[in-house]
């Protein structure tokens, strides 16, 4: 029911660190999950079963499926401020106010890195402040880390938010996924982990996570987990994977730079600073639903109507065409 022990071991190292004292002390309850969605759902059901009167605080905006997951687990949802539409950056003061005003011991869903859909992440210093306030309020942080490696190109760097919370002595939960950073979307490979007070508690929590998994899907599939174990368990393959993750992330970062430069060269009077300031797979463009509709109908460029563009689809071959089309539909704004 808990899946591949080897895969889980290697996955925990990516999140908690190769030399993590928590791994050594066996304080982490962890099971293989059906990618990030499955890990989130398993945790939501765990939350409902053992903290039935609790609710979950979710950022505005967030990945739309987060709402579905906690709704279907019958956990009431509240929201907290995150994105600032005017600056196209982080609404840090709004976020901190909401964390402060939430009832003591609340559950918060946090995006570990490369926030979806905005591409806006707190700085390390801001994460430290968030962590300190969580500590004071006795809140529980649940990190969804779907894009480790996609933000900076360095998985260790992308886990910095988690490491900050660990340094501050929090008990946390983490959802990890290999859908993007190993291209295993169709294999549904992920991991749910919960950091516990001691080894005894970790054994108990893991046992309960398995009890939740049993009637839901019985046990997770083998194939994808074996791919992950093979790559991460072999130093040569792991270093090759880390190199390739960096190449891929750097390509996306490079496309951001080219797109911004192309828009500025076209003489657009608007600020496109947020193209390069945001990070990860998505660019939260700030385009209106009407402008998105024009891009689709007039230029055959497709994106979600909230203006979220997948930067992974931008290439040296189409970036000029994309910039020109964006320039045309934003001219009059």
Task: Identify which of 65, 50, 7 has the alpha carbon closest to the alpha carbon of residue 192.
Answer: 7
Distance CA(132)–CA(165), nearest Å, equals: 8
Secondary structure letter of residue 51 according to DSSP? S
Count of positions (residues) in the chain: 333
Cβ of 140: how many Cβ atoms within 10 Å? 18
Q: Is 63 a catalytic residue?
A: yes
Helix axes of 160-167 and 5-16: crossing angle, nearest 10 degrees: 80
Active-site entry in 45, 98, 144, 158: 144
User: Is cis: bond before 61, omega within 30 of 0?
Assistant: yes
Q: Is 160 a catalytic residue?
A: no
Q: Give yes or no for a contact between 175 and 190, defined as CB atoms under 8 angstroms apart.
A: yes
Active-site entry in 48, 88, 160, 180: 180
Distance CA(183)–CA(8), nearest Å, equals: 18
Active-site entry in 48, 63, 88, 158: 63
Mind telling me the catalytic residues?
Answer: 63, 144, 180
């Amino acid at each position: 029911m808990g899946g591949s022990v080897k895969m889980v071991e290697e996955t925990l190292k990516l999140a908690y660190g190769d030399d993590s004292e928590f791994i050594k002390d066996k304080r982490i309850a962890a099971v293989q999950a059906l990618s990030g969605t499955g890990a989130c759902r398993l945790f939501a059901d765990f939350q409902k079963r053992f903290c039935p009167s609790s609710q979950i605080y979710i950022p505005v905006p967030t990945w739309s499926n987060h709402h579905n997951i906690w709704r279907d687990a019958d956990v009431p949802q509240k929201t907290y401020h995150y994105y600032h539409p005017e600056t196209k950056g982080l609404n840090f003061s709004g976020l901190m106010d909401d964390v402060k005003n939430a009832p003591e011991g609340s559950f918060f869903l946090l995006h570990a890195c490369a926030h979806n859909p905005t591409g806006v992440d707190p700085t390390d210093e801001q994460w430290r402040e968030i962590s300190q306030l969580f500590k004071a309020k006795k809140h529980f942080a649940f990190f969804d880390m779907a894009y480790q490696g996609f933000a900076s190109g360095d998985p260790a760097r992308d886990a910095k938010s988690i490491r900050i919370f660990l340094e501050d002595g929090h008990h946390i939960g983490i959802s990890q996924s290999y859908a993007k950073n190993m291209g295993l979307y169709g294999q549904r490979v992920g991991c749910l982990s919960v950091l516990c007070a001691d080894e005894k508690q970790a054994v108990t929590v893991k046992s309960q996570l398995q009890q939740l998994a049993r009637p839901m899907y019985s046990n997770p599939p083998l194939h994808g987990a074996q791919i992950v174990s093979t790559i991460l368990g072999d130093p040569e393959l792991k270093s090759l994977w880390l190199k390739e993750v960096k190449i891929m992330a750097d390509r996306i970062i490079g496309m951001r730079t080219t797109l911004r430069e192309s828009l500025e060269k076209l003489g657009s009077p608007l600020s496109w600073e947020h193209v390069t300031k945001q990070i990860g797979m998505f660019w939260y463009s700030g385009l209106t639903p009407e402008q998105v509709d024009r891009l689709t109908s007039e230029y055959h460029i497709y994106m979600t109507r909230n203006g979220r563009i997948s930067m992974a689809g931008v290439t040296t071959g189409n970036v000029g065409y994309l910039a020109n089309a964006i320039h045309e539909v934003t001219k009059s704004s």
